[in-house]
């Protein structure tokens, strides 16, 4: 009986076969397994149209990687396709430039799509027929401590959609908020504020002895009147 291959292209050897080469073939299989659970590859998707990823038996292949980074300048909507019948998870980063959609799908099934303005990561699962966007079903995520001092980032933390998600909740509030200038805007909302119904865009800035508000629409500047209270904190 000859070898068969799993959905991930890993050779399934039978007793009495491949005499003298089991070691090499086993090492090859282990490399493929490592690629499937921890492999990373950057895939260039310049231009427009379709990019096809491959899964080749017994060979390191881009569709087998766990993590894929899609990069390049796109000039139209693009589709990245993996073969049918693959059952595995993917972490995919859309790092392309260009205001166009990016779809990640199987050859015959449905897929997950980044909108023209949406970049970033998606956690995806291929069920062998379709691509399922798991990240849309995760809801609130409790992020564990990265260091003993908390979570440190060297970049911006940006929500996946404008004016959609909250920082904290009515029952789970942040203790203190430390920030430089504070920018306030309700211009993305369908309706204005609950007092006079208007929309605004303001920046709060700190002075040595005063607090100032800047109207970013009219460019007018205001000083908040403060009354000193006797006593120490």
Domain check: are 105 and 212 in the same one? no
Least confident of 91-95, 106-110, 139-143: 139-143
- Among candidate residues 77, 119, 79, the one with its CA nearest the CA of residue 100: 77
**38 occurs within a structural domain:** yes
Q: What is the pTM of this model?
A: 0.60
Domain check: are 98 and 189 in the same one? no
**Residue 126 belongs to domain spanning:** 4-137
**72 occurs within a structural domain:** yes
Domain check: are 16 and 107 in the same one? yes
Domain check: are 8 and 115 in the same one? yes
* pLDDT for residue 148: 46
Domain boundary among 105, 137, 169: 137
Domain check: are 131 and 186 in the same one? no
**pLDDT at 146 exceeding the cut of 50:** no
Domain check: are 19 and 111 in the same one? yes
**35 occurs within a structural domain:** yes
The predicted-structure confidence for 156-169, as pLDDT tens digits, reads as follows 777 777 888 888 88
Least confident of 70-79, 174-183, 223-232: 223-232
| φ/ψ bin of 199: left (φ > 0), alpha (ψ from -120 to 50), beta (otherwise) | beta
**159 occurs within a structural domain:** no
**pLDDT at 41 exceeding the cut of 80:** yes
**122 occurs within a structural domain:** yes
**120 occurs within a structural domain:** yes
Residue 223 CA: distances (Å) to CA of 142, 166, 206, 228 = 39, 29, 10, 15
For residues 23-27, give the mean pLDDT.
93
**13 occurs within a structural domain:** yes
- How many domains is the chain built from? 2
* pLDDT for residue 105: 97
Cα(70)–Cα(120) distance, integer angstroms: 10
* pLDDT for residue 45: 93
Burial of residue 94 (number of CB atoms within 10 Å: 0-12, 13-18, 19+): buried
Cα(61)–Cα(59) distance, integer angstroms: 6
**115 occurs within a structural domain:** yes
Domain check: are 19 and 133 in the same one? yes
For residues 42-70, give the mean pLDDT.
94
- In sign, the C-alpha dihedral spanning 12, 14, 19, 20 is positive
């Amino acid at each position: 009986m000859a070898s068969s291959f799993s959905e991930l292209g890993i050779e399934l050897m039978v007793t009495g076969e491949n005499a003298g080469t089991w070691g090499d073939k086993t090492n090859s299989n282990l490399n493929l397994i490592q690629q499937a659970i921890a492999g990373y590859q950057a895939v260039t998707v310049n231009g427009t149209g379709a990019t096809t990823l491959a899964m080749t038996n017994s060979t390191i292949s881009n569709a087998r990687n766990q993590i894929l980074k899609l990069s390049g300048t796109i000039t139209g909507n693009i589709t990245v396709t993996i073969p049918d019948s693959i059952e595995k998870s993917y972490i995919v980063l859309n790092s392309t430039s260009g205001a166009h959609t990016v779809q990640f799908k199987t050859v015959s099934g449905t897929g997950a799509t980044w909108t023209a303005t949406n970049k970033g990561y998606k956690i995806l699962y291929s069920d062998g027929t379709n691509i399922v966007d798991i990240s849309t079903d995760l809801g609130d995520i409790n992020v564990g401590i990265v260091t003993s001092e908390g979570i440190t980032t060297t970049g911006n933390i940006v929500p996946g959609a404008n004016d959609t998600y909250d920082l904290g909740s009515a029952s789970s509030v942040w203790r203190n908020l430390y920030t430089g200038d504070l920018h306030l805007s309700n211009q993305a909302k369908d309706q204005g504020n609950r007092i006079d119904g208007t929309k605004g865009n303001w920046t709060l800035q700190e002075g040595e002895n005063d607090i100032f508000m800047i109207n970013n629409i009219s460019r007018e500047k205001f000083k908040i009147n403060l009354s000193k209270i006797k006593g120490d904190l």
